[in-house]
Amino acid sequence: MNEQYAYEFRTCGTTGLKVHLPAERLFYVNAVTAVVALLVGGVMALLIALTRWPAVHLLSADLFYRFVTAHGLNMLVFWIVFFEMAGLLFASTAVLGSRLPAPWFAWFNYGLMLIGALLTNYMIFAGEADVLFTSYPPLRAHPNYYLGIILFAVGTLLYCVHFLITLVVAKKEGYHRGSYPLFTFGILIAVILAIFTLLSGAATYLPTWFWALGWLDSIDPALYRLGFWGFGHSAQQINLAAMVSIWYLIGTLSVGAVPVSEKLSRIAFLLYLLGINVAAVHHLLVDPGLSATYRIFNTSYIIYAATVGSMIHAFSIPAAVEVAQRAKGFTNGLFEWLTKAPWSNPAFSGMVLSMVIFGFGGGVTGVTQGVEQINIMAHNTLRITGHFHATVVGGTTLAFMALTFYALPLVMRRELIGKTWAKYQPWLFAIGISMVSTGMSFAGILGIPRRHYDVSFSSAIFQVPFSPTATTMLGLVGIGAILAFAALMIFCLIAALTAFFGKRIEPKMEAHYPPHTGDEGTPAPATA
């Protein structure tokens, strides 16, 4: 029996999961880094929203566009990806009860990501990367801006490779037998999507870096746009797979929900692989580099493969919760199972609110706006921005916040501080971001452009008349941003106070040996 891994595991008193201590440290640093990025991006979001509100119009033009770049990268990339890396570690070790092979490799990957994120942010705030999130040529930033993104992407790609290695080790050493748990399976799908996405990013940013260094005279703008959206939009599909996986996990942890048909849920995840990564063409519907046939086929047919998968999840998860609640005796009427659900648990309420906002605010609008006829009218208006704030912020970010309320005692081994505030935090955030998304969507319908400093065009030689309702909608965005930011600060404060001042949870240390016998090479029965 291998003595190397004895006493490297502890049992979490909250979840009952066995946690490999080297993996636990990596959970911690990735999660903390993610929250810091969330805070930076949240401050930028508030300033941008107050600038878009004509009654406030806070920032100067140069700071507005600079903060748009910082907001996009910190919220859409750094916050979410660092949190997802913590999710990879959790799904491949704690959920499977496995050890983390070669922890030094994970630390190396984290270091690359951290250096890349810091370098990118430095170049933005130094005024060397005023190219917005898309950075379409001929806009050109300092070479170190692209280098930072490349380093971050390489670290992420290596993390994905490490995740796959960990799954192999878990099988080989007998930590886990049979099919992977649904949460781990969903994260595996996200990793496969991530590899495609990151390779698209490499094909885009490496030539751009060479161009910024002066090693290339020019780059093809059409190829850049295609590669960028193969990276930029596909990144959201990684978030989708991770978010849905978290929904399943929280349902299990909070009420003991088990999918009605796990096979069907797995098929739904597989549908994401079939069509979702090529669904980014709706960003390029008027691009002359793509044929009309391909654009129409993509936006009319390909996108629905992923849509069917999401509709299956939209049925499976609530059904699993209902079955679990009715099994506990909540069988009076049609909805006692719902009214007697643990709504005081911020993880459960956050999960439900994430599903509702994503489904009705993001999913429905995404399918409709991706159709060619509507997209032609909605493109480059705030209607598009309203859609993805419902998906990425109201859906993904809220789901990640919800899981954090379970992760805090698991990772930091401290009891939650501010339980009353935590109970209301998901609701406040949901209300705020719903106001932001709704205000943006209706302002966009009324013609307000996205990524624009002065929507009134007050300095133009011509007048652009907008409906007064549009200004009201921008005010709604500003008020919603204030509420959402307040909820974000509550979340960060709870996390910080719990980490430093929460009552210490003494771990139960165990001699947890690898199940395989070594000499015979035959795995022993997997541990529970």
**Average pLDDT of the residues in 251-264:** 91
Phi, psi of 467 (to 5 degrees): -60, 140
Distance linking the first and last C-alpha atoms of the chain: 19
Determine which helix (DSSP H) or strand (DSSP E) holds 22, and give its type and residue range: helix 21-52
**Average pLDDT of the residues in 79-96:** 91
Q: Which of 256, 306, 259, 262 is nearest to 280 (CA)?
A: 306
Q: Which of 170, 69, 176, 61 is nearest to 125 (CA)?
A: 69
Is the model's pLDDT at 105 over the cut of 90? Answer: yes
Cα 49 to Cα 44: distance, rounded to the nearest angstrom: 9
How many CA atoms does the CB half-sphere of 205 hold within 13 Å?
27
14 band by pLDDT with thresholds 50, 70 and 90: low
**Average pLDDT of the residues in 227-233:** 82
Is the model's pLDDT at 3 over the cut of 50? Answer: no
Is the model's pLDDT at 274 over the cut of 60? Answer: yes
pLDDT tens column, 498-526: 888 888 876 555 544 444 433 333 333 33
pLDDT value at position 522? 33
201 compared with 67, residue with greater pLDDT: 67
Is the model's pLDDT at 351 over the cut of 60? Answer: yes
pLDDT tens column, 427-443: 999 999 999 999 999 99
Q: Residues 6 or more apart from 432 whose CB is under 8 A from it? A: 480, 481, 482, 483, 484, 485, 486, 487
279 compared with 246, residue with greater pLDDT: 246
pLDDT value at position 443? 94
pLDDT value at position 508? 56
Cα 284 to Cα 370: distance, rounded to the nearest angstrom: 11
Taking the whole predicted model, whether its pTM rises above 0.85 is answered as yes
